[in-house]
Structures are given as structure tokens and as C-alpha cells.
A and B are shown apart, each in its own frame.
Chain A
Amino acid sequence: MNSYDVVIVGGGPAGLAAAVAARDAGCERILILERDSELGGILNQCIHNGFGLHTFKEELTGPEYAARFIDQVRSRNIEFKLNTMVLDIAADRTVTAMNRQDGMMSIAAGAVILAMGCRERPRGALNIPGFRPAGIFSAGTAQRLVNIEGYMPGKRIVILGSGDIGLIMARRMTLEGAKVLCVAELMPYSGGLKRNIVQCLNDYNIPLLLSHTVVDIRGKQRVEGVTIAKVDDRFKPIPGTETDYDCDTLMLSTGLIPENELSRNVGIDINPITNGPFVAENFETSVPGIFACGNVLHVHDLVDFVSEEAGRAGRAAAAFVSSQSDDITNHKVVHVITKGGVRYTVPTSIDIDRMTDSTIVRFRVANVFQNHYINVYIDDTRIIHQKKRIMAPGEMEQAVLKKSQLQSFSNIRNITIAVESE
């Protein structure tokens, strides 16, 4: 059986950054396993600009951002296998994978980093009535067809869901000569960035219908039209508000789901809110030696945060490999819990003895909050009190915890992250 120090499942932005960081932390034998025929993951089809402002202090397109990390992987001679599907990960960190050159292989890994990314929520998960004609695409599938493979999914398009991919595709299809009739959004607000609403919809006079959804799809062989209705505050369509749109294509931008089949099979505890693994401050999952980063952990809006978190996961995996015999049973581990408008945090536990000088806790809020505070409590003592003019579900927030500060408390029960009015 082949053996590696670190095996990384997925060669997208998370896997690439984790590999580079693990190598720079001294790991010699690293292997990236990638399902697609090239490295870079979803960035390859995200040809719009706006990536990398935090990491490189410039605005890059997705492929350019990916290339920066691919170059780093190549210059470090980090091994990778393309067109390779990971079938199974065992708790003893044996990775089973296959491709056309090697056939089936078992690989013994000192540590495993999960970096499989996420998938789009499909039509079947939305309960839209109607036939199942051709012409219904998830926005990301359409993005790949247009940007990489060179096919146009349709000419008259309705988009359901105003996540960033849907907004980006509204502009993209318009630029390629299609007519985008509208973007319908179930919620009373868009999940996308303001910048995308302005530059992808307003620039091209594409209407954004908030509190609307698709209630019917017409057409048997090919989509012939959809019916859109307004919804009430419990998301139920309001009778009498239906409007028919003649279109040949319906695109769905209705959310992303971390792809954790491998994680579940190995018995990793999954957070029902993020659909990603619970992790400690070093990105280690509930199974020792298996780490997670990127969109398989929680869905990000900014790739810069993915690269940064993956870097920390890569360094932690390298540390795990070089210090496997360390006894951590006496370490002080505290849980991070949420309160008042915070939906989830990553990480959900912190090993105070093991943590580096500081650790970033990232979280999302459940609603739009204006003039609220990010409050961090160690048991009953408030240690961070930071005012934010606006927080929204579409933008990830963070709090930075310092090791020295945590060490100054004895017998901490919990760390609480809260969003509160004072």
C-alpha cells in the first residue's frame, strides 16, 4: 500500500491552499486527489473578477486566483492525481480511490484533509410542481456549460434564487446574448452581495422579484414557460398573484450543500446547520487525524477565507503527523456556543493548550441586524464587544480569540458568540 503523510481529497481552492501550507510546515509526502481533469475546482468556471482582494490585494478572476495556488503546488513538487475519485476513507485513514491509470488503490495517510467542496441544491429538493422537461439547470451547471464547455443553455431565461451564482449568471447569459426575464427570490432579501445586485442585475435592467417563487413549470420536452407567484410571510404562494413567463430555461440558484458522503461514511459528526463536520480550532473533525476545510466545512462567500482557513488546516495536519504520539488527554478543551442571532460557528471547540497565539471564529447571522454588537463571553465575562453597522446572512462575520486571554481564565465552561443589541 502507498503511504503519504497527508492525503488531500479535492484539488480546489481549499485543497490547494492546504497542500501548500502542509508542505511549508515541513510535510514531505503530500498527495492531492482530484476528481476533475484539472486542478482549481469551482474557480475554473468562475471567470468573473473580484477574487483575491484579501489574499493578493488585487482583483483577480477565478481562474487567475486558482493559477496562483496551482503554481505554488507545482513549484513545491507536490504530487497530485487528476481524474481520480475517492471512494472511501476509513477511520484508520486508509483512503480508497480509483482512476483509469492506477485502477483501484489503497493509500495509507498520516492525516487526511477533506476539501471536497459543495454541490448545488437540485430541483428535486425544491418541490416545484410541473413536468420534468429539458431546460432546467442549476446555475453552476449552466456556468460550467457556458464558460468552460462553450454551450448556451437557452435563450429566454428565468432564474430562481438570488444567491451570488444566480446573479452572476444573470449577467453572464445577458452578455452572451440571452434574455434574462427576471430573478425570483423566495426571501424578502437577496442572499447575494450588493455589488452583484447592482452590477449583474441593475446594470442590465433585470428585475429582482423579492418574496416570489416559481409555482409551475410548463412544457413536456423542453421548458416552455414558468409561473411565478408572490409569497406571504410564511413563504406560501398568494393565490391571484401568479404571472406567466414564456421562457425556454429555468436556472436554479437556491443554495449549496457541502458534499459530505465520505465524511458521513467514516463516522464524522456533522453539524446539522452547516451540513459540514464539527471541527476544533485546528480544523480537526471528530475522527482523529481527519481535517476539513473550504466549502465542505461550511459554505463561504469569499475564496480568500477558504484559502486562509485551509492554510490553517494544512499546518494543523502537518503538526498532527509530526506529533501523533503527543498526549492531549490533559488539554483544556472548551466548547464554542451561539446565542442571539448567531446561526453557527466554525470552530465549535477550542483546545486552549494546543491553539496558536490566536484563533479566528467565523460565523453567520440568521437575519439582517443593524447597529448590533458582536459580543464574546467567557462564561459570564464579556471579552469582546464590537459594534457593527450591518450584519446580514449573506456575509460571514468573525471574532478573534487570543490564547493569552483564554489562558487568563481558569476552568472555562463555554465560550459564547452572540449578536446582541447592546
Chain B
Amino acid sequence: METKELTCIGCPMGCQISVDIENGTVVSVKGNSCKIGDNYARKEVVSPMRIVTSSVAVLSDKNAHPSNEVHYPRVSVKTASEVPKDKIMDVMDEIHRTHAVAPVKIGDIILQNVAGTGVAIIATKNS
């Protein structure tokens, strides 16, 4: 049997929860003081998932921006949905090798199937 310790993120209490796992199945959750902690711990120990956000360089065509607003050399991006926590650095490696081409709109796909997760990287800003 394996025991994992984690801090609940449900509220400022931050309960220290210990979860007993046997053959990949949660046997018991201890230390939480409410149902939120129980739900969080069961998901977090089996398959922790995260949204990853970053920014990528924008290769910009100056003529594409007739307004007088300044455009910065980067556009913010995120994974379109959560990816496994242990894939975060692989996702970042691919983001670092990517750029966008202006004009970029919120929701535009910058990169398909990042790091084999099946999840796209999308823009979160117009640029």
C-alpha cells in the first residue's frame, strides 16, 4: 500500500490530507474536514491535471495593425484544456519552439496536439 500526502486547495483551511492507495485504487482519504477535500484528493492522487499557460513570440506584419495601439512581441497562450501534470515540461518544450504569426485572435490554435496530449495550444489575447 502507498500513502500520498497533499494539501487541499478547496479553501484557506488547506487541510493536510493523506490518501492510501492500493493497486492504483484509493482505499482511504484522511485529514480532510469536508467533502471538497475528499473529492479533490481522489482526483489529485490518481490523475493530477493542470492548465498550462505561457506566451509565444509573434512574428508581426506591421501593416496588419493600422491602429495606433502598440503591439508587443509576444502573445499569451494556454492549453485548451487540462493536461497531465507530468507532461507540463514537455508541453513547455514545444511552446518554446513555437511562434505565432500576426494577426492573432483569442482562441486561434497556435499548436495542435501539444506533446502528444491531444490538447491544442490556443491564443488568449488578440495581437
Contact = CB atoms under 8 A, between A and B. Distances in A.
Interface stretch (A157-165, A192-200, A310-318): A192-200
Given A61-B78, A67-B125, A390-B12, A194 B53 contact: no
Q: Is the interface of B mostly helix, strand, loop or mixed?
A: loop
Given A37-B70, A148-B72, A148-B74, A48 B8 contact: no
Interface in B19-67: 33-34, 50-55, 57
B3 to A, nearest CB: 17
Interface string A137-155: 0000000001111100000
A390 B124 contact: no
B9 A147 contact: no
A197 B85 contact: no
Nearest to B89: A175
A202 B8 CA distance: 12
B8 A49 contact: no
B78 A147 contact: no
B12 A194 contact: yes
Contact of B7 (A37, A198, A368, A392): A198
B85 A194 contact: no
A60 B77 CA distance: 11
A195 B9 contact: yes
- The contact size tier of chain A is 35 or more
A394 B12 CA distance: 9
Given A47-B76, A194-B7, A392 B12 contact: yes
Q: Is the interface of A mostly helix, strand, loop or mixed?
A: mixed
Greatest chain A CB density within 10 A among B34, B96, B106 is at B106
B74 A149 contact: yes
Contact of B106 (A44, A64, A203): A64
Interface in A52-80: 59-64, 67
B115 interface: no
A38 interface: yes
A395 B74 contact: no
Nearest to B12: A392
A63 B9 contact: no
Interface residues of B, number: 36
Contacts, number: 94
Greatest chain B CB density within 10 A among A63, A193, A391 is at A63
Contact of A175 (B54, B57, B124): B54
Contacts of A193: 9, 12
B100 to A, nearest CB: 12
Given A149-B73, A389-B13, A202 B88 contact: no
Nearest to A196: B9
B124 A194 contact: no
Contacts of B54: 47, 175-176
Interface string A366-402: 0010100000000000000000011110110000000
Nearest to B51: A49
A82 interface: yes
Contact of B124 (A61, A82, A395): A61
Contacts of A202: 7
Contacts of B111: none
Interface string B1-16: 0000011111111100
A82 B69 contact: yes
Interface of A: 37-38, 44, 47-49, 59-64, 67, 82, 146-150, 175-177, 193-195, 197-199, 202-203, 368, 370, 389-392, 394-395
Interface of B: 6-14, 33-34, 50-55, 57, 68-70, 72-74, 76-78, 85, 88-89, 92, 96, 106, 124-126
25 contacts: A44-B125, A47-B76, A47-B78, A49-B53, A64-B106, A82-B68, A82-B69, A148-B74, A149-B72, A149-B74, A150-B57, A150-B74, A175-B88, A194-B7, A194-B8, A194-B10, A194-B11, A197-B7, A197-B14, A198-B6, A198-B7, A199-B9, A389-B33, A390-B12, A392-B12
| Top-8 shortest CB links A-B | A37-B70, A47-B76, A63-B125, A195-B9, A392-B12, A61-B124, A194-B14, A150-B74
